[in-house]
A and B are shown apart, each in its own frame.
Chain A
Amino acid sequence: MKVPMKWLKEYTEINLPASEYADKMVMAGNGVEGIDNTGDLFDKVVVGHVLSCEGIEGTHLHLCMVDVGQAEPIQIVCGAPNVAAGAWVCAALDGAHLPGGVKIKKGKLRGYVSNGMLCSGPELDVPAGLYPHCGEEGIILLNEEYKPGTDVKEVFHLGDDVIDFEVLANRPDCLSVWGLARESAAVLDTHCVMPEISVEEAQGVGTFDDWAKVEVQDDELCPRYCARVIKNVKIGPSPMWMREYLYGAGVRPINNIVDITNFIMLETGHPMHAFDLSKVRDHTIVVRRAHEGEPLTTLDGKEYTLTGDMLVIADAERATGLAGIMGGEESEIVEGTTDVLFECATFDRTNNRLTSRALGIRTESSGRFEKGVCVRTTMEALDRACMLVNMLECGDVVPGAFDYYPNPLNPQVIDADVDRINRRIACHLTATEMEDILERLGFEVEVSGSELSCTVPEWRMDFETDADISEEVLRLYGYDKIPSTLMTGVTMAGHRSEKQALLDIVKNSLVSMGYYEALNFSFISPKWIAALNLPEGDPRRNFVTIRNPLGEDTSVMRTTLVPSMLNTLALNINRGNPEGRLFEAAPVFAVGKTETTAATETPSLCLGLYGDKADFYALRDAVICLLGQFGIKPAVTAGGDGYYHPGRKAVLTVGDTEIAQVGEIHPDIAEAFDIDGRVYVAEVNLSLIPALARPIPAVQPLPRFPAVTRDIALVMDEAVEVGPVMDAIAKAGGKLIEEVHLFDIYRGEKLGQDKKSVAFALSFRAADRTLTDAEIAAAMDKILAACREGFGAELRS
């Protein structure tokens, strides 16, 4: 809300520079976005009187001698067709700055010295509405005589500070000059005087009922509707002071009637509408819900189809406007308008908001109704408009008014307790001090002991409980006076949640293994899920969909972290980062409502790896090492999702529970994600860890007897997996075997095709004796037998 300081000062006293004033307002909760000065547009532009003006032969230029208030007239070359001797003009002098970074310098045009420039409206960025001649062709011709050399800003009434207030959502009353004047007076602890409203009704023009009829059919959506009629309207420009205020507030001046409605909206916060009464069929205004499917053409020429939930302003025949949102084209105020009906009403906030949203129309008026317009002061605002009609002498106010207000609101009274407020705001104010603050804000306060009975001022709509009173007291007393205290009461043990503690271990382990943490958006493109080639019916295809996403790329909640990781790997590869180790720990989402949760959220972990040193085993072992941090020792089995390389993927299980998958990404999938080269990805279901985690067991005594080691090399088919062989060796070795260590795999012609020799170092030990050769030999025989039977393995000769 932009407010010229001068306008505020009409109603209250502000004896501070704008910036100091703004600071005080900010610290009382009235945010300020910025301070502008309407005079910052240009400088060194003065009133000039053209003494002589001669055409320069062969050009469209004129050589002018202009009195700019200096000792001698100055010579200016001017190309405008409307320049003439005797004209009063705006002369930009040597060194003047104009809007758009233009700088005026003394120079020569066609050999003639020019000491400045005579300016047009656009050159000074002054809108046509602000000064009558600004928008016309050619240079601005001032319509009065001034002292030559007078700063043009004085002529246009520029130079006022304009404060751009950032009004909080609960303070719609401050979306008005009066509201902010009251607020200023309270903050600065000074007086605030509103104009006394009195309308001079004309004689001999009948009464309201002679000229118009209003019918409100819905008191729920339209709690109040006030109207008045103005006859014998003379449309013309509004006076300079009004234009100046509107311009300062960022509203383009148009004509006196339209300017009055805008002025009232800015001054009182009440949006108004003016109808050309002659265009209203049967001079009848009907406020009703639209018929289902009813068509409407708005002021801006757009066509809409309405629903029965929308409130319209209709005439005897059809809907002509959307209540509180936009008027109709037909009854617009035009040059020849002579009879005007002023509407000042309040409409239901929610309904207004829903209609404006449904149709996609947002106007200054709809924005105000959404935030809340004070129902009590509606008639007052309308009368203020008529008062301005009197003041501007632009029409006759017809006696009588229409005021539909079936359920008048009673004044709101809130009881508050001084001690309770003090406890809440950590202050020690007396009842009198609180009373004083509240009265500055317009409350009527009755004090009895420590009880305050506060009557809320009629313009305030944001009070519900005594907590609101406490805020008002603290706000004016000063947030800067809040003491810094320490909480008392029960001591509480602070700690991280179990989930965070687990994530800390996961993340720190991965970081020490050289992995970097990534963060990706939780929503992804459904195409990414499709690209994984998951089978029909896979639960990961059943994602939660966002109804109003920013775009398709971010429209579904991810059911797996893999696609985001692939995207991250692709980005890094394509940006030339030679190797990458990344992880992301985040929830994945699935459809599944319960009474307390709206979807299923499962903490997940994804690892991604690429580069020269990357291979399947590096990633698999990172996962195994990570799980080892929780005492989980998973079994590794070939297999896994279809987006992995068919021969390079594994499932990690504990008992029957799958906890992770790891593998090289299938080249087709890699290609779909714009990845050239091999990348490795693992996904771990973190939600399983707490249940599977094993605490560190009780300590075993250190061995007192030596271990015996034996190496064994077994020749087996290439297709035989080594992992199960090692498990079989450990099993066959029984209690005596302590460790099975793979140390070599050899392939060679001597072994035959599709054969490999796998060499293990075995370590045997007993807790109570040194093992004998015979015991070892027996164990080795068993081991060999098991490998022969189970895997067709033979001792390498």
Chain B
Amino acid sequence: MQDQLKSIREHVAEELKNIQDSNALEQLRVRVLGKKGELTAILRGMGKLPAEERPKMGQIVNETREKLESAIDEAAAALRQREKEFRLKRETIDVTLPGKTREAGSLHPMNIVLDDLLDIFTGMGFEAVEGPEIEYDHYNFELLNLPKNHPARDAQDTFYVDDNVVLRTHTSPVQARIMTTRKPPIRIVSPGRVYRADEVDATHSPVFHQIEGLVIDENISIGDLKGTLDTFAERLYGKGIATRFRPSFFPFTEPSAEVDLTCAACGGKGCRTCKGTGWIEVLGAGMVNPKVLDMCGIDSKKYSGFAFGMGIERLTILKYNVPDMRYLYENDLRFLKQFR
């Protein structure tokens, strides 16, 4: 009987060496350890043994069963590991294949720039507000010290709906609306579409976008305007970008200034973008004309303020080097996809 057990152990050990898959292993287990297996057959034969030998023999058989079981379990574990490794190897994919997920789209470049501007100005305590695009002459011109038939109106070729209604020529009417409805302190920016009767070409569009800023409080000076715009310039274009104020004229500000920024393309050394000057003309600004304050019901003796306005198209064109303004309104996806 002991020889039989030994033979089983030996042939099992031998077979385990050759087994390659879990089915064969399971068959072996059933053949050796199953209910009708070889070991059970030996156990059955124990009845023929003398009673005193049985416990000892039973112990030996059990020890053999345990050894066989653990050998088969070990083999099974090794086999599973091998099969897992094999599966992992088989499952290797080409990770460089193009995927099926859809790419994200993008905002229009002008709204990317506008987002930056709103971040900058709201961070400086400005509240963003809007106003209507179809606007009363009263707000677009008259409250801004541009009475009817003022020649300065010619500078802004205006689309008229009727004698008293225009497509706003600038975002400045929002200033007038805010000043006539709120009390200082006022600190707002107002972005939006504006309209002028310019034919479409590489540098003009009858529809374009501006952002307007207005601050009214006690003791506001032109230095505060410069400080605000200096901060804006640096946040938008980076360190080393300064502003340069040149005297100018707008009916709604006094003093007025054209404001240049250091040319970001050359850092102010002079290049093609800035026509060798080192400066780029970007915005108009000034101290709110006291006449405008008075017309809007704000005491110009007590309060002063500044205002500025700039074209978002210009900032976008400068930032992304857009060669032709028409690109901005054509919506060709080959253009829009460049802003992902």
Contacts and interface: CB of A to CB of B under 8 A. Distances in A.
Nearest to B166: A598
Contacts of B38: none
A544 B161 contact: yes
Nearest to A608: B331
Contacts of B289: 465, 467
B149 A350 contact: yes
A491 B103 CA distance: 42
Contacts of A426: 221-224, 226
B245 A480 contact: yes
Nearest to B191: A500
A483 B225 CA distance: 9
Interface string A562-583: 0000001001100101001110
Contact of B249 (A171, A519, A557, A568): A171
B263 interface: no
Nearest to A370: B151
Given A511-B105, A514-B105, A577-B334, A489 B254 contact: no
Interface string B189-207: 0000101010100000011
B325 to A, nearest CB: 12
Interface stretch (A23-31, A61-69, A325-333, A530-538): A23-31
Given A482-B245, A499-B130, A546-B160, A487 B227 contact: yes
A519 B223 contact: no
B174 to A, nearest CB: 11
B182 to A, nearest CB: 12
Contacts of A516: 105-106, 108, 331, 333, 336-337
Interface in A21-41: 26-29
Main secondary structure of the interface of B (DSSP, over half): mixed
Contacts of B257: 479
Interface in A209-227: none
A518 B108 contact: yes
Given A491-B125, A548-B160, A520 B197 contact: no
B125 A489 contact: no
Interface in A513-560: 513-523, 544-550, 554, 557
A482 B149 contact: no
A270 B123 CA distance: 52
- Interface centre among A170, A353, A519, by most chain B C-beta atoms within 10 angstroms, is A519
Contact of A577 (B129, B247, B329, B333): B333
Contact of A488 (B111, B130, B219, B304): B219
Interface stretch (A49-57, A115-123, A468-476, A632-640): A468-476
B331 A582 contact: yes
B152 interface: yes
Interface residues of B, number: 83
B132 to A, nearest CB: 5
A168 B218 contact: no
A520 B223 contact: no
Interface in A606-624: none
Contact of A517 (B106, B164, B224, B244): B106
Contacts of B245: 479-480, 482
Nearest to B215: A487
A568 B244 CA distance: 40
B62 interface: no
Nearest to B257: A479
Contacts of A497: 127-130
Contacts of A495: 122, 127-128
A512 to B, nearest CB: 5
A54 to B, nearest CB: 53
Contact of A485 (B221, B328, B333): B221
Contacts of B152: 169-170
- Interface centre among A350, A424, A468, A486, by most chain B C-beta atoms within 10 angstroms, is A424
A496 interface: yes
B287 interface: yes
Nearest to B292: A467
Interface in B93-140: 102-108, 110-111, 115, 118, 121-130, 132-136
A601 B110 CA distance: 21
Interface string B141-161: 000000001011001000111
A522 B247 CA distance: 34
Interface string B231-270: 0000000000000111111010011110000000000000
B137 to A, nearest CB: 9
Nearest to B151: A370
B211 to A, nearest CB: 12
B103 A514 contact: yes
A328 to B, nearest CB: 26
Contact of B336 (A499, A517, A548): A517
Given A169-B151, A424-B287, 12 more contacts: A29-B248, A426-B223, A479-B246, A484-B223, A487-B215, A487-B220, A492-B185, A494-B124, A511-B104, A514-B103, A517-B111, A598-B165
11 contacts: A170-B249, A468-B254, A483-B223, A485-B227, A489-B185, A494-B187, A511-B104, A520-B329, A522-B195, A593-B165, A601-B133
Interface of B: 102-108, 110-111, 115, 118, 121-130, 132-136, 149, 151-152, 155, 159-162, 164-165, 167, 185, 187, 193, 195, 197, 199, 206-207, 215, 217-224, 226-228, 230, 244-249, 251, 254-257, 287, 289-291, 304, 328-334, 336-337
Closest 8 CB pairs of A and B: A29-B247, A426-B223, A471-B255, A494-B122, A485-B223, A518-B331, A599-B134, A426-B221
